Amino acid sequence: TSVGGVMLAMVESVDHVTETAKRLPNVPIVALVETARGLERITEIASAKGTFRLAFGIGDFRRDTGFGENPTTLAYARSRFTIAAKAAHLPGAIDGPTVGSSALKLSEATAVSAEFGMTGKICLTPDQCPNVNEGLSPSQEEISWAKEFFAEYERDGGEIRNGSDLPRIARATKILNLARSYGIEVSEFDDQAVHVTAPSDTYHY
The CATH architecture assigned to 6-136 reads: Alpha-Beta Barrel (3.20)
pLDDT at 163: 86
Give the model's pLDDT for residue 202: 46
* pLDDT tens digits along 32-50: 999 999 999 999 999 999 9
Q: What pTM was estimated for this model as a whole?
A: 0.85
For 72-125, the pLDDT digits (tens) are 999 999 999 999 999 999 999 999 999 987 999 999 999 999 999 999 999 999
Q: So where are the chain's domains?
A: 6-136, 140-189
pLDDT of residue 111: 96
Tell me the pLDDT of the chain averaged across its residues. Answer: 91
Residue 28 has pLDDT above 60, yes or no: yes
pLDDT, tens digit, for every residue of 121-164?
999 999 999 999 999 999 999 999 999 999 999 998 888 888 88
Q: What is the DSSP string of the chain?
A: -----EEE-S--SHHHHHHHHHHSTT--EEEEE-SHHHHHTHHHHHHSTTEEEEEE-HHHHHHHH---S-TTTTHHHHHHHHHHHHHTTPPPPEEPP--SS-HHHHHHHHHHHHHTT--EE--SSGGGHHHHHHHHSPPHHHHHHHHHHHHHHHHTTSS--STTHHHHHHHHHHHHHHHHHTT--GGGGTTS-SSPPPPPS----
The pLDDT score that the predictor gives to residue 130 is: 94
Q: What pLDDT shows up at residue 200?
A: 58
